Chains A and B, each alone.
Chain A
Amino acid sequence: MAKETGWERNSDPLGIWEHRGKVAMVGRGHSTTDRRWDGESMDKTLGAYSLVAAQNAMEDAGISPDEVDGIISSAGGQANGQPLGEVWAPRPYFDPPYDSEDGLSHVTAEWLAKQLDLKNVTYMNSHGDTVWNLIGQAAQAIGDGRATVCLVTYPNGNMAGRYHQESSLEASGNAQWSSPWGWGLSGQGFTFDQYCRKYGSNHDRMAPFIVQEHKNGRLWPYSYYALHEPEPFTEEDYLNGRMIAKGLSIFDCDRPVQAAACYVVTTAERAKDMKQKPVYILDHTESAFRPRSLVQTLDDTEEWTDIQAKRAYAGSGLTPDDIDLFSPYDGFAVFTQYFLEAFEWRGVKRGDAHDFYAGDISLEGPNPLNAGGGNMGTGRMRTVFITDSMEQLQGRAGPRQVKGKAEIAVTIGVLPGNAGCLVFSSTPD
C-alpha cells in the first residue's frame, strides 16, 4: 500500500490545528521487552509482540476489533521502511503467518489487520515513520473523517548481531562523502563539541540527566532495564562509560530492544464512551530538514529545532508556560538539549540545558523532564514518550506520577532533522 502523503502540518506560518481537541488518545498497549529475538520462539517475534500490544490497547480502551476502522503501522520503525536490525532472510521462513519477512523483522498494517481479524477497516497505512509521525497521521485522518477508531502500532525489533556495520571498501552514494574519512557517530560528537565550545560545557555535565532518566525508566514496567537490569544506574557508571566517539559514550546511545506498542486514537466524541479518560490532541506538526552542507552543524540543529518549537506553539496556541510535562527524544542523549532549549520549557534558553540538568529534574520536583525515562531509561522502543505522556494526563502513571500539575504534555521525536511533535491535553480546550 502506498504511503499517504500531504497530511503533514509542516508549512509556515502554521495556524491553530483545525481539529484541535477533537481527536483523542484513549488506550495504550505494550508487549514485553526483550533485548533480541532469538530466532526460534514464535511467541516472541516482532509480529507476535505487535499482536499482543494491539490486543492490550483495545482491551485498555474497552473496544472490540469490530469497532476498529483504521490501522497505521510502522513496518520496522525506520524511515526507509526497513527493519532496524538484520532481516531474517535468506534463512528459510516458518509456517504461516511467519512465511515472509512480514511479521518477523517488520510488521505491516496489512499483516496485523489480517491476524487480528479486523473486519471493518477502511483506512490503512504502513510505512517507516516513527511513532510521533504515525500518531500525527492518525490524528489528521480521524480529524478529517477518514477513520473513527484507529490503531497505531509501533514495533521496534532487534535480532542477533551489530547492525549498521559497514564492511565494504566501496563508498558510493552518500557514503562517498563520509566513509573515506571514517565519519559516523562522530557526527553526534562533533555537534556536541560545537555546543560545548559555544556555551562552555562538557560531557560530564550530562550525567544528572542520564541518571534521572534511568531512575524514571526503572519505574516503567515495560522498560528493558526494569525487566532485565533493575539495579540502579549511577553517575559513576555514566562517567566511566566507554567512548564511542568523543562527546558520545555508550550511555549516550540507546539500547536496541525487541518490543511493540499500540495506541487507540479516536474522535473526542467516541472517546467519551471508552474505558479510559481521553487524552485530547491539541496539535500535531511534522518537520524534515537537511544540513546546509556536508554534516549537521550546531547552527543547523538550532535553526531546525527553533522551527519545530515555533510550529508546535503556533499550532496548539500554547506557550512554554502551559507545558506541565515535556518529553523530547533522547535516542542519542544529546538530542534532548537541542529540543529543550528550542522549546524554552521552564525558561531554558540556548546553552542553559546542562545547568538545568544540574537542578531538580526529578518526578517530585517542578521540572520532571522525560518523566517516563526516555530511551536511555527504557531501551530503544521509542514509545515511552507517548505512553508516559498519556498516563500522566490520565493520572495513572503509578510510581512515575509527577507531583506537580499534569494537564498538558508535549513530546517530540525522533531527530532534530526529522521530527513529529504532539501536544496532549487532559481537556479538549
Chain B
Amino acid sequence: MPRPIPVPDATSKPFWDACNEKRLIVQHCTYCDRKQFPPEPECRECGWHFHLSWLETSGRGTIVGYSVTYESRIQAWHPEQPFNNVIIALEEDPVINFHSNLPGVPVDEVPVGATVEVEFLEVTDGQLIPEWRVVS
C-alpha cells in the first residue's frame, strides 16, 4: 500500500538514515542525561544543542495502549481501515514512545503489556521506518 513517506529534515535526517541501517536511535543530552524523541534542534530541558548526541536503543519495548482507526483523515490509509494504532514505550526509558500498526496482529486484538522488538519496514525505495512485532 502507498503510504505517507517521511521527508527527513536537518534535525531528523540522522534518525531516518539510521533506520535505513536498521538501527533505532534517539537523541541523548549528555548534560541532562535525558533521552529525546522525536528529535529537536535543542534539548528541551537545558535548551542547549551542543550536548545532544545520538544513542542507539535496545530496540525493545512494551505496548502501553492502542486505538483502532476506522476513519482516517489521511486518504492513503483509507483502504487499510480499520487498522491498529499502537503506542510502544522504550524498554530503557518508558517516557520515549513509538508508533506501530503491529503488522500481523488482528484488528482490536492488541496484547497491551506485551514485549515487542523493533523491525524495519520498507515504505518506499530506500526508506525504512521502524515497526514492531510481539515477542512475548
Contacts and interface: CB of A to CB of B under 8 A. Distances in A.
A116 interface: no
Nearest to A184: B73
Q: How large is the interface on A (under 10, 10 to 19, 20 to 34, 35 or more residues)?
A: 35 or more
Contacts of B67: 186-190, 192-193, 245-248
A170 B2 CA distance: 11
A199 interface: no
Interface string B108-135: 1000100000000001000001000000
Contacts of A248: 67
A293 B85 contact: no
B73 A185 contact: yes
Contacts of B3: 169, 179-180, 182
A178 interface: yes
A164 B99 CA distance: 21
Contacts of A194: 64-65
B85 A189 contact: yes
Contact of B68 (A170, A180, A246, A294): A246
Interface in A274-292: 290, 292
A171 interface: yes
B74 A297 contact: no
Contacts of B108: 246
A176 interface: yes
Nearest to B35: A293
B7 A294 contact: no
B37 A172 contact: no
Contacts of A243: 68, 70-71
B119 to A, nearest CB: 14
B117 to A, nearest CB: 17
B68 A176 contact: no
A373 B66 CA distance: 30
A91 interface: no
Interface residues of B, number: 41
A290 B40 CA distance: 13
Contact of A166 (B73, B83, B87): B73
Contact of A169 (B4, B68, B71, B83): B4
A187 B2 CA distance: 22
Nearest to A189: B67
Nearest to A192: B67
A114 interface: no
Contact of A181 (B5, B12, B75, B100): B100
B32 interface: no
A188 B68 CA distance: 11
Contacts of A164: 73
A427 to B, nearest CB: 43
A167 B80 CA distance: 15
Interface string B62-98: 0011111111111111001001010100000001111
A339 to B, nearest CB: 21
Contact of B4 (A162, A179, A193, A197): A179
A7 interface: no
A173 B38 CA distance: 11
A183 B108 CA distance: 15
A103 to B, nearest CB: 28
A405 interface: no
A169 B78 CA distance: 13
B6 interface: yes
A242 B85 CA distance: 18
A22 to B, nearest CB: 37
Contacts of B68: 186, 189, 243, 245-246
Residue of B76, B83, B100 with most chain A CB atoms under a 10 A cut-off? B76
B72 to A, nearest CB: 5
A394 B85 CA distance: 47
Nearest to B37: A293
A175 interface: yes
A177 B85 CA distance: 13
A121 interface: no
Given A179-B74, A245-B67, A168 B85 contact: no
A242 B70 contact: yes
A132 B12 CA distance: 35
A180 B97 contact: no
B97 A181 contact: no
B4 A171 contact: yes
B107 to A, nearest CB: 9
B70 A244 contact: yes
Contacts of A192: 67
Contacts of B77: 182
24 contacts: A162-B73, A168-B4, A169-B5, A171-B5, A176-B6, A177-B38, A179-B4, A180-B3, A180-B6, A182-B69, A182-B74, A182-B77, A182-B80, A184-B74, A189-B67, A190-B65, A190-B66, A190-B85, A193-B65, A193-B67, A244-B71, A246-B70, A293-B38, A297-B64
Given A171-B4, A182-B77, 7 more contacts: A179-B3, A181-B100, A184-B73, A185-B69, A193-B65, A197-B65, A244-B69
* Those 3 A-B pairs whose CB atoms lie nearest each other, nearest first: A189-B67, A186-B85, A172-B7
